[in-house]
Amino acid sequence: MKNLPFLILTITLGCFAQQKTTGKLVAEDDAFYNYVDKEAKIEVLAEGFIWSEGPVWIKDQGFLLFSDVPQNTIFKWKDGEGLSEFLKPSGYTGVLPYSREPGSNGLTISNDGELVLSEHGDRRISKMPLVGGGKFTLADTWMGKRFNSPNDVVQASNGTYYFTDPPYGLPGQQDSDLREIDAFGVYKIDTNGGVEMVIKNLTRPNGVALSPDEKTLYVNQSDSSAPYIMAYNIKNDGSLDKGHIFFDATSLLESGLVGSLDGIKVAQDGTIFSTGPSGVLVITPEGILLGRIETGQRTANCAWGEDGSVLYMTADNYLMKIQTKTKGTGF
């Protein structure tokens, strides 16, 4: 593992150099340019991370938080100030070495303005104030059994959380002796704290997002043999129907593009911005691929920021952003 103080120094010095751009835009349909201008550039804000993940924009304070999962650290990025360490440890508070990915992964802001973390090493969903105070566990077990390694989380306006629980943070991943639950499930946490497995038949559930009307839950599956974005109708009690394949990325992988379906966000008009083969895929609410924001890196996640029109992207050892012509939900 890289030496952290040296890593922060390297990244911080790079933040104030001449702006670096990378990647390209690839349109599958001219409608792609209704969402991203033809001349838009992918800007590299910082680099040198091990595996950047889970970005979230803090609207009332104007900065971005994101995870470096192997470094067990949450970083803060603010325009004009650059990069700083926000929280360490972020997802594993044990003493002995744990796994290759012990830290926090997906992050979100709760309805009451607190930071919600998907913690790999401590195997829980937790919540904490942005200023002062420690973490509070929202959920760490289902039917008395510990989760595998919660990966991504979203909260509905009624307070219900949905989160995914693949094996990526476990030592040995799916073969770990620490596994207590056979399924790699998707769960909901009720407002009374009750935990229910709402999806049990996915092999690698990963990113999770809600449609603007909160009637649909999208779940990305980062399995190269079944690279699907799944869509589930949300029932009145918060449970889900059996779901269907909303988008199949098999053809992109077969064409030689590299990367998995991972993080997913939604624009106000329902358009999907999902990380996947080559970078970020832009997909209509009907499941039609409009184009790709090709970062040139395996891209883990994305988040809306600033006024809601800037898309921040965590891509392997980079933090990037691009100006779009749309706005994300929550703005």
- C-alpha 198/C-alpha 203 separation (Å) is 14
Residue-wise burial string across 260-272, b where 16 or more C-beta atoms lie within 10 A, e elsewhere: bbbbbbbbeeebb
- C-alpha 93/C-alpha 181 separation (Å) is 22
Closest to 196 (Cα-Cα) out of 149, 244, 142: 142
Q: What's the whole-number mean pLDDT along residues 290-319?
A: 98
Rounded to 5 degrees, what are φ and ψ at 209? Answer: -155, 160
pLDDT 10s digits, 166-219 = 999 999 999 999 999 999 999 999 999 999 999 999 999 999 999 999 999 999
DSSP string computed for 6-48? HHHHHHHHHHTSSPEEE-EEEESSGGGGGTS-TT--EEEEEE-
Q: Is the pLDDT of residue 4 over 80?
A: no
Q: Is the pLDDT of residue 270 over 60?
A: yes
The β-bridge partners of 162 are 154, 188
Q: Is the pLDDT of residue 8 over 50?
A: no
Both tokens assigned to 258: 């590299």
Angle at 121 between CA 115 and CA 122, to 5 degrees: 65
- C-alpha 303/C-alpha 301 separation (Å) is 7
Question: What pLDDT sits at residue 13?
Answer: 40
Question: What pLDDT sits at residue 62?
Answer: 97
Question: What percent of the chain has a predicted confidence (pLDDT) above 90?
Answer: 94
pLDDT 10s digits, 234-269 = 999 999 999 999 999 999 999 999 999 999 999 999
- C-alpha 45/C-alpha 15 separation (Å) is 6
Q: What's the whole-number mean pLDDT along residues 122-150?
A: 97
Q: Check residue 227 and report its DSSP letter.
A: -
Q: What's the whole-number mean pLDDT along residues 220-240?
A: 97
- C-alpha 127/C-alpha 107 separation (Å) is 10
pLDDT 10s digits, 28-80 = 999 999 999 999 999 999 999 999 999 999 999 999 999 999 999 999 999 99
Residues in the chain: 331
Both tokens assigned to 52: 């950047």
Question: What pLDDT sits at residue 196?
Answer: 98
Residue type, 222: S
Domain 4-323 sits in CATH at 2.120.10.30
For the chain, the average pLDDT equals 94
Q: What is the pTM of this model?
A: 0.94
Question: What pLDDT sits at residue 133?
Answer: 85
Q: Is the pLDDT of residue 138 over 90?
A: yes
Residue-wise burial string across 280-304, b where 16 or more C-beta atoms lie within 10 A, e elsewhere: bbbbbbeeebbbbbbbbbbbbbbbb
Question: What pLDDT sits at residue 18?
Answer: 66
DSSP string computed for 62-118? TEEEEEETTTTEEEEEETTTEEEEEESSSS---SS---S--SEEEEEE-TTS-EEEE
Q: What's the whole-number mean pLDDT along residues 301-306?
A: 98
Q: Is the pLDDT of residue 2 over 70?
A: no
Question: What percent of the chain has a predicted confidence (pLDDT) above 70?
Answer: 95
Q: What's the whole-number mean pLDDT along residues 92-97?
A: 94
